[in-house]
Structure 1
């Protein structure tokens, strides 16, 4: 049940506004407007064909139908964020906007792609997907007549930059560039709404990685019985619904785990908020610790589950084989386009060729390659002759 607005919630009337001044909407708050712009962005649509763990390939109907993509993950995170924010009396529109934008900067091939591009960009200022998300919403979306980017409100940009906590220097170059235009107070915590988006991300991936791992066959329900939180959830399902088909049994157990995580976050947040008694969103930012988090016991259990997933899923032999393959693809695509910008479309080619130095050119190439979907990156790799 949604609570009445709390005094520490971000208030639309107190927004610090936008870098480029715009008339206020007559029927949408600043963060409803941000949410809508994010949903209608090109980068958001591309999330449909960017993957989490498993690489999406053309014709792979099984994976396309069942495994999470960045888009389905993002929608799940936004749903969880609205639920938690509503229960705590926070601004649900801001929490949702940050959640919807949090993965816009991910390159093709999930975290493997990020690792590969970070290595390739090491001589040119590095790569970080959170910083790249900010670059997308402030520079790379080029559809509006009056400005580059989406011209999001300060609170939304702050949430994208700091939803995982304060960011210590040295900052990724893309983040430093955005922060130079508008101070995001990177040394402080973000709003409670942005903290909600971060925890919602954890809730979503802890749940769906278990689900995707089971469906992939990398492990079975029997392998999970000794893990905390999971074993008791299955035992409860077996007690209440004996004889369920395996897929229903797994779904029932995982949704209980999902509910436990959300309830834990809400309970701990209420306790922390009561202890600190913030009277404004600025009071939240000034605290030395986040107010939205898991309890220590549940966090310890989730660490054990994540360790299991790391060994049995993220570093499973088939996944490692895919990691090697897609890393090799990006190791072909990026250097080829850096050395010969004529391999890119005209607008990107012109920008790269007119860049003042090789570092600036590398950043143009990065923007182009990081925006690729899995299937487009594979097609480009094949076009360059490496796939034949």
Structure 2
């Protein structure tokens, strides 16, 4: 089937920062996706927190499984809208590469610690990861992704109105048109992110015991999905134990929640595209509003889900305790390594010594911390603070 006129066009792409011959067996977006999957940063997502720190349980989502779920939802929506599935998947898989250990708690701690020396946010850090910090190729640093994938990575949440100093500097060399929207494909990845984490955070919250199915009764969309799941369960003559039945109801509820959210995005986006009638990807970029959206009613409901999760899960006292400890670990690592950069391991140590000023040295420390997994950060903290642990 011929792609929609507003899909990104792989022939030609706007290119890569370092010129390379095109692959003969893959599109540029397939090549970008494959480079993300094989990157060190992507593998490290396996041991980075989504909500629950890695050692709290083997079956809770991590940043890696979250990214895979986002990619699955985004790619399915891209197929339905007849836009490019491969670049959608590449952006979805790469969108969390800049996350610190310990999830948002780690990011908040590192952002606060870095404030005197510039900003830190995981979206900009993801761009640093794929343009600078991956060292896999002889000819260049980074993954040398296409302009379109980089644009989608940095702008999937919308125009960047207050770019950091580093992002402004990067943009002078490879302009990503920060003030415009990204492609339909990138916007799909952004909404898939919301849909995935609402579904799986509710799932993990119930699995952990911090939430119960009954807590969802009055939650928008989730409550309706739960009622449908329970009604279906009541019609079945299953011999499952009560515990197993509750587990199946939980899964059915999350499945129905995700289906409702995805279906709404697809309906509303089709209406938005009909109204805008874009004839190119640039028409989407230069629109005065995003084209991939929830309906107004579902947007409000989605905010209700987010409000519930913040109040009942993300700020649960048990989660707060772990977040408090995580912030302390990140802050103490930053302070210790920032004050004594000679403690940095080989490679990072050389980068620190070569930095022209204190701001650049602190950025090296931030890059080092952002690259850590949860368990490596805990081990490094012990190595630097506990005399009984070898350095």
Is 1:20 matched with 2:18?
yes
Residue 198 of structure 1: which of 158, 182, 190 is its match?
190
Deviations along 1:176-232, one digit per CA (max 9) or x if unpaired, are 232122110010000111001101101100100100110111110011112221222
Aligned twin of 1:142: 135
1:265 aligns with 265
Work out whether residues 216 and 226 of structure 2, in 8 Å CA contact, stay in contact via their aligned partners in 1: no
C-alpha deviation, 1:172, in angstroms: 1.6
* CA distance, structure 2, for counterparts of residue 262 and residue 4 of structure 1: 23
Q: Secondary structure at the match of 1:346?
A: coil
Distance 1:143 1:227 in 2: 46
- 1:72 aligned onto 2:70: no
Gaps of 5+ in 2: none
Name the residue aligned to 2:297. Answer: 297
1:350 aligns with 2:343: no
Deviations for 1:232-252, whole angstroms, at most 9, x for unmatched residues? 212212222216710001111
By how many angstroms is 1:296 displaced? Answer: 0.9
Of 240-249 and 375-384, the range deviating more from structure 2: 240-249
2:179 matches 1:187: yes
Shift of 1:173: 2.9
Task: Give the aligned partner of residue 123 of structure 2.
Answer: 130
- Aligned residue number for residue 45 of structure 2: 47
Relative to structure 1, the CA distance from residue 318 to residue 387 in structure 2 (aligned partners, 3 Å threshold; closer, same or farther) is farther
Alignment-derived partner of residue 110 in structure 1: 103
Unmatched segments (≥5 aa) in structure 1: none
Q: Secondary structure at the match of 2:210?
A: coil
For residue 381 of structure 1, give the secondary structure of its aligned residue in structure 2. Answer: helix
What SS does the aligned partner of 1:176 have?
helix
In the TM superposition, residue 53 of structure 1 has moved relative to its aligned partner by: 1.2
**Equivalent in 112, 123, 127 of residue 119 of structure 1:** 112
2:145 maps to 1:152: yes
1:175 is displaced (CA, Å) by: 2.0
Please, what TM-score do these two structures have when normalized by structure 1?
Answer: 0.96
Contact 1:348 1:364 in 2 (8 A): yes
Cα deviation, 1:259-309, whole Å, max 9, x if unaligned, reads: 111111111111111111100101111100011011111111111111111
Partner Cα separation in structure 1 for residue 176 and residue 156 of structure 2: 12
1:345 to partner: Cα distance: 1.3
String of CA shifts for 1:134-155, please: whole Å, max 9, x gaps: 0010001011011110000000
Q: Distance in 2 between matches of 1:138 and 1:354?
A: 19
Distance in 1 (alpha carbons) for counterparts of 2:229 and 2:313: 24
Q: Does 1:99 align with 2:64?
A: no
Q: Secondary structure at 1:384's aligned position in 2?
A: helix
Provide the rounded CA distance (Å) in 2 between the counterparts of 1:205 and 1:4.
Answer: 32
Q: 3-state DSSP class of the match of 1:166? A: coil
